[in-house]
Amino acid sequence: MPRPLEALIHLQALQHNLQRARAAAPDARVWAVVKANAYGHVLDRVFEGLRAADGFALLDIAEAERLRKMDWRGPILLIEGTFDVRDLEWCSRLGLWHTVHCEQQIDWLAMHKTEWPHHVFLKMNTGMNRLGFRPDAFRQAWVRLSSLPQVDEISLMTHFSDADGPRGIAHQAQVFHTTCDDLPGERSLCNSAATLRHAQDPAIRGDWVRPGVMLYGASPDFPEHDATHWGLQPAMTLRSRVIGVQHLLPGETVGYGSRFTAPQAMRIGVVACGYADGYPRHASDGTPVLVDGQRTRLIGRVSMDMLTVDLTDLPQAHMGSEVTLWGQGPEVNGQATTLSIDEVAHHCGTIGYELMCALSPRVHVEVLQPHHG
């Protein structure tokens, strides 16, 4: 028998979450952001679930090529643009739209020989200070781009640093609008947090939204709001089984470094999942875990291939009991159970994004078709 650890990808959840993005930004078109190999879900596995998107946004040309091989003929946007002048040949060949965020990328375009002029997304740095032209250089970049025969359409974009938090987006949105309100072209501003929290305003919504993490069923602003609040469903489940049971006497310890000491007699379960599978080693005692759909907690340090959970209050749990590390659990008394990846991440000092991206290639993955839930 293979090791009983597996990840499930729920195509139905991807479809549902894409619908949520559409509902939050009515009339806008939706880029499904699938960078980082679809946030760790693997592009080829999520494609069917997200094919109702208007386009796919990513940053590796190799991933764009894979989408074309899957027969995706619609728009693909490279959200970091080109890394080298030769990338433009790939953009022409594969029909990719690309972000332009610096002078060097315009220089490359000016040198590029192509029969097919490109659609570019000119990026403004409105305060994130990662990629993009500062507002005072933005218009000049636009003028330069519009004079190039290699370019036939210029859309305008920016990216928010605080759409998920109290600082919000107003200051950046204002910079964006004052700088480019009179320029023609489609607009794209919103990531998941901005789509869910701010896209009711048509000026913020723009023509294209760029949701990423919400499509995979994680909340972009946890713990302020959880995935249930936003009506999102987990697109990835990581599940395993209890492969060993131990009975501890008071004062005995568990695992490497004896991090956890039993305050009283306890029963613990050993689960086939460790940091070599992508489960974070620094998960703290108390990180939630479902055993047969019932909530319990991680205790002791996570090791390479195993972790340990408290079964003291779950007398019915046994060797072979199903363990949900995150995602959709088994039904209990006819009720669906879930364990939010955001909550697990919170106990590990990180965010759901990092956990999903870190799923290890050694984990067996099953893609569930929509009718299987």
Binding site for ligand PLP (CB under 6 A): 33, 79, 159, 191-193, 210-213, 220
Residue nearest to ligand PLP (CB): 212
Q: Of residues 113, 256, 275, 353, which has the active-site annotation?
A: 256
What residues contact 92, with CB distance under 8 A and at least 6 apart? Answer: 112, 114, 115, 116, 118
Alpha-carbon torsion angle 142, 148, 154, 156, nearest 10: -30
Cβ proximity to ligand PLP, 66 vs 159, nearer residue: 159
| Distance set, CA 70 to CA 67, 145, 343, 359 (Å) | 5, 32, 34, 23
Q: Are 321 and 289 in contact (CB under 8 A)?
A: no
The number of C-alpha atoms within 13 Å of 8 and in the hemisphere containing its C-beta is: 22
Q: Would you put residue 327 in left (φ > 0), alpha (ψ -120 to 50) or beta?
A: left
Out of 35, 39, 216, 275, the active site residue is 35
Report the residue number, 192 or 338, with the smaller CB distance to ligand PLP.
192
Q: Residue 155 CB, nearest distance to ligand PLP (Å)? A: 13
Nearer to ligand PLP by Cβ, of 13 and 299: the residue is 13
Strands 118-124 and 151-158: parallel
Q: How far is the CB of 53 from ligand PLP (least distance, A)?
A: 13
Q: Is 275 a catalytic residue?
A: no
Smallest separation, CB 323 to ligand PLP (Å):
28
Q: How far is the CB of 349 from ligand PLP (least distance, A)?
A: 19
35 is catalytic: yes
Cβ proximity to ligand PLP, 125 vs 192, nearer residue: 192
Q: Catalytic residue positions?
A: 35, 256
